[in-house]
Structure 1
Amino acid sequence: MSGQNLDLLGFGDDRPETPDDTREDGAGRPPRRRLRRVLTVVGVLVLLVVLVVGGFVGYLGWRVSDNVTQADLLPTVPPPTVAADGTPITIGPDKGTNFLLVGSDSRGADRGRADVIVLVHVPEDPQTIQMVHFPRDLFVSIPGHGKNKINAAYAFGGEPLLVETIQDLVGIRIDHVARTDFEGFKGMTDAVGGVRVYAEEGNSATGNGGLAIKKGWNELNGEQALAFVRERYQLSEGDISRGRRQMAFVKALLLKATSAETVRNPLAIARFTDAATKNLVVDRGLSVGTMKDYALELRDIRGSDVVFATAPFTGFGTDPTAGSIDIVDEKGMALLGEALREDTMDDYLDVFVTP
């Protein structure tokens, strides 16, 4: 598995630190208690911040309840019991929790295809949280629809079919699902006064909403953040490079949202919470009450505890129906599934990731 297939973004490398990376609690952070469940990524961004300021919990709890929508996002079929090659697999109940975060960039009434597909794995006793980005052009088998790009599963059958597709591809169980849209990212960015994000490669303003990005650190407001995460045509690996940008943006937003500058500003917290939850849809098993209960368990999580990776692929190709595709690394995907099922993602990343 090559370094291009599964890469860490912004951790353990020689990039200059952003000021938001500096922790104020020193080395005396208390040990984390065992997590039985965890929030979706957007829930982490919202509730980790708001619970720091106790006086706003009541108001924000009401606001979140008013904004968040629950829907049938999980499939009715059980997760697989055999891998794609016929090998039996066991999916136990006590090996961490898997969430699927879906980001839609449909700019009209149609559902369109999912533009951000991220599997969030929280170990049973976490030291890190792993976020695995699935490129939208990954060429996979979609139940009932043959082979196509993975984001076509969302167009064909919404979140339930997308969940079923990923469960079959990786051989895992997905416990919860959350969907947001790019407008939510825009609102969250503006609510915290913009973000400072690292770009692995730059692009000109042409064809990118008039926004030029330089290689290195960039200060972005909400509108600029949208252009940053949408661009792919000027990037060296197209959809893969765009996915890396999206994960870099999520990291930057997480760091800014949990920074002292934000948590000491009640108005910023209120604006951020409203923006983050306004277009948030979660599965029916993830109530706001459950989010608040388990948010208390996440108050020690920091941005540097979140590790980003890309699902394994071997290269690029074309298909008569799907067009340009990313070819799945079957062996790598099987190893990824084993690590998720056995709750050994840290070990897996140590072996298969080139920092």
Structure 2
Amino acid sequence: MLDEMMEEIPTESRRERRRAARRGAARRPASRRRRILIVIASFLAVLLIGILGYAWFLNSKLDNIAREPMLPTATTDADGKKLVTGQGTNYLLIGSDAGPDRVGARADVIQLVHVPKDHSAVWLIHFPRDLYVEIPGHGEDKVNAAFAFGGAPLLTETVQNLVGVKIDHVAKTDFEGFKALTDALGGVRVNAVEASPGFQQGWNDLDGAQALAFVRERYALSEGDISRGQRQQEWLRAIMDKTLDPAVLLNPITLANVMDAGGRYTVLDETLSSEKIRSEALKMRGIRGGDIHFITAPFAGFGTSPSGASIDIFDEAAMDRLGDALQSDDMANYTE
């Protein structure tokens, strides 16, 4: 009897040891899983902090862009007709010929940007600087003179009167802005329709100084101011294409440099908030190169003003058709 009991004790001990071993083995995988989850959670937390920090950094760049009042108070056109609103969004891009030694700057670049309500495309409309139009309070003159007479608000009001739509936002830059933005992108490639001193017909790779010369040339071009406007649009196309390139968008250093360059030389109207920019950019995330369209505002040929200046003759009927397209948010049919 005693011998039997002695034999059973080791057996029970072995069973206990085996059960304990199984419990320990069960705890070890669970412990390993917890450690792995902790490592993953820590990594995601660091990644999230990095993303939020980068987003904050980019937002701070937007917040640092200068703002000033550039929108006119007028809600009607020169004939007293109410300006159309809500049919897409209209931005006026102004590039002044201001420079270190320039006094009484005029607008070298006047581009009306129309984004339809569905955010499916972008239309850039070049208004030739020599277009001879009525400027509120100043009679007839070249459209770019409005900027010299009354800054961005008067130029904006003048363009509003031409097309009958309310311009929602305004942005302006100058010579240095053209150069800085181009250099921040590492240069751009543009397609020149015709050659001029320093630029061959076809593709040209430009740095900032070359880009400025490219968009300002007109005397060596076949249609002067009109050809220059088309070059400005080609530069804008190159800037947009380069900015939308993943090599820029996904490179924090390059993107920060681009935003810094834009912020240092760009002024926005005081109603164009950082939140608005982010919201509009998100809505336009599906835009591709083929969705960006460039046209020139209509005119009836070339002439001479009463003072002897070379001008682009205003075509009222054709401008009314452009205005109708903008007012009805139907630019696609206007260009067909």
Q: State whether residues 82 and 171 of structure 1, in contact with CA within 8 Å, keep that contact through their aligned partners in structure 2.
A: no
Q: Matches of 2:308 and 2:95 in 1, distance apart?
A: 21
**1:110 CA displacement:** 2.6
Q: Secondary structure at the match of 2:219?
A: coil
Bigger RCO (CA 8 Å, 6+ sep)? 1
**1:328 CA displacement:** 1.3
- Aligned match of 1:310: 296
Q: Secondary structure at the match of 1:119?
A: strand
Q: What per-residue deviation string (whole Å, max 9, x for no partner) do you get for residues 217-276 of structure 1? A: 111111111111111110001111000000001001110111122223221111111001
Q: 1:77 aligns with which of 64, 74, 78?
A: 74
Q: Does 1:271 align with 2:257?
A: yes
Unmatched segments (≥5 aa) in structure 2: 1-50
Q: State whether residues 148 and 322 of structure 1, in contact with CA within 8 Å, keep that contact through their aligned partners in structure 2.
A: no
**1:171 CA displacement:** 1.8
Q: Matches of 2:63 and 2:125 in 1, distance apart?
A: 28
**1:61 CA displacement:** 1.1
**Aligned residue pair count:** 285
TM-score (norm 2): 0.81
**1:82 CA displacement:** 4.4
Q: State whether residues 177 and 283 of structure 1, in contact with CA within 8 Å, keep that contact through their aligned partners in structure 2.
A: yes
Q: Secondary structure at the match of 2:333?
A: helix
Q: 2:57 aligns with which of 56, 59, 77?
A: 59
Structure 2 counterparts to residues 13-24 of structure 1, below 5 A: none
- Aligned match of 1:98: 90
Q: State whether residues 79 and 164 of structure 1, in contact with CA within 8 Å, keep that contact through their aligned partners in structure 2.
A: no
Q: Matches of 1:55 and 1:299 in 2, distance apart?
A: 22
Q: Matches of 1:287 and 1:322 in 2, distance apart?
A: 43
Q: Does 1:321 align with 2:307?
A: yes
Q: Matches of 2:71 and 2:313 in 1, distance apart?
A: 26
Structure 2 counterparts to residues 293-304 of structure 1, below 5 A: 293-304=279-290
Q: Matches of 1:94 and 1:237 in 2, distance apart?
A: 35
Percent identity between the aligned chains?
50
Q: State whether residues 149 and 322 of structure 1, in contact with CA within 8 Å, keep that contact through their aligned partners in structure 2.
A: no
Q: State whether residues 91 and 172 of structure 1, in contact with CA within 8 Å, keep that contact through their aligned partners in structure 2.
A: yes
Q: Secondary structure at the match of 1:317?
A: strand
Q: Matches of 2:153 and 2:86 in 1, distance apart?
A: 23
Q: 1:116 aligns with which of 102, 109, 117?
A: 109
Q: What per-residue deviation string (whole Å, max 9, x for no partner) do you get for residues 138-190 of structure 1? A: 00011111100000011001111111111112222111111111311211111
Q: Matches of 2:308 and 2:253 in 1, distance apart?
A: 46
Q: 1:216 aligns with which of 202, 210, 214?
A: 202
Aligned-residue CA RMSD in angstroms? 1.8
Q: Which has the larger radius of gyration?
A: 2
Q: Matches of 2:196 and 2:300 in 1, distance apart?
A: 25
Q: 2:213 aligns with which of 214, 227, 236?
A: 227
